[in-house]
Amino acid sequence: MTFDLFDNLPDYDRDGGISSEPLAPGASVLRRFARAQAGALLDVVAGVAAVAPFRHLVTPGGRRMSVAMTNCGRLGWVSDRQGYRYDPVDPATGLHWPAMPRAFAVLARDAAAAAGYPDFTPDACLINRYLPGTRLSLHQDRDELDVRAPIVSVSLGVPAVFLFGGLRRADRPARIRVIHGDVVVWGGPSRLAFHGIAPLAQADHPLTGDTRINLTFRKAG
């Protein structure tokens, strides 16, 4: 079943303007922030994946993640039986991760500044690929050496339900529908908030088909 990309977004500017929606202290959703350059961003993703292909990582407990992942930047986030960590080398190829594309770095910097975090310079971009039914369980981004820098998360393709909770796993998360071009930024008092993605619903987007691509920018090193 497919659905209207603008369903249930009464505060959304359907005429194309960017708007900011508070989410929690230190966190906000920048509606449509990346919409104008989304096609170019997806082309860059394809270029990164040609060098560092998408793969399904394994958790330290041996569970295969349903989300397919790759990275670009000085560091890449990896997971295996040895744990979660950042590594400059792609373990699948033995090569350094592709460099951070300028378009990615500029978008991340501008989105962070728009959300109140100036001078953000990411050194890692985790690229996630979601298909129908794919989910990402609630977790904290805490593998970075310095958690004073924010997280910048860009949604491309089909809509998703972003889960944003508190500082305890038991805190009930808010459910925020994010669509093509939306950017979520969180830091400060919300930097270690638990967050995730509900199982992706079947939908279709003219640029990505039934797929959602998520870019998560971090200052890891």
Q: Is 177 annotated as a binding residue?
A: no
84 is annotated as contributing to ligand binding: yes
Known binder of ligand: residue 56?
A: no
The answer on whether 131 is annotated among ligand-binding residues is: no
Question: Is there a binding annotation on residue 31?
Answer: no
The reply, when asked if residue 77 is annotated as ligand binding, is yes
Whether residue 20 contacts residue 31, with contact meaning beta carbons closer than 8 Å, is answered with yes
Task: Choose among 197, 194, 148: nearest CA to 168.
Answer: 194
212 is in an annotated binding site: yes
Q: Is 134 annotated as a binding residue?
A: no
The answer to whether 175 is annotated as binding is no
Residue with tokens 């200052």: 219
Q: Is 86 annotated for ligand binding? A: yes
Instruction: Please name the helix (run of DSSP H) or strand (run of DSSP E) that holds residue 105, with its range, or none.
Output: helix 102-114
The three-class DSSP label of residue 73 is strand
Q: Which whole-number Å values give the CA distances from 27 to 11, 78, 124, 163, 213, in the listed order?
A: 17, 25, 20, 13, 21
Q: Is 216 annotated as a binding residue?
A: yes
Distances 181 to 39, 178, 199, 203 between C-alpha atoms, Å: 10, 8, 19, 16
96 is in an annotated binding site: no
Instruction: Give the full edge-to-edge strand order of the sheet including 136-139.
Output: 136-139, 195-197, 160-164, 174-178
Tell whether residue 139 is among the known ligand binding residues.
Answer: yes
Residue 130: other Cβ atoms inside 10 A: 24
Q: What is the radius of gyration, based on Cα positions, of the chain?
A: 16
Answer yes or no: is 191 a known binding residue: no
Q: How far apart are CA 54 and CA 177, in angstroms?
A: 25
Task: Tell me whether residue 85 is annotated as binding.
Answer: yes
Please report, in range form, the residues annotated as the binding site for 2-oxoglutarate.
Answer: 128-130, 212-218
Please report, in range form, the residues annotated as the binding site.
Answer: 77, 84-86, 128-130, 139, 141, 143, 169, 195, 212-218
Please report, in range form, the residues annotated as the binding site for Fe cation.
Answer: 139, 141, 195
Please report, in range form, the residues annotated as the binding site for substrate.
Answer: 77, 84-86, 143, 169
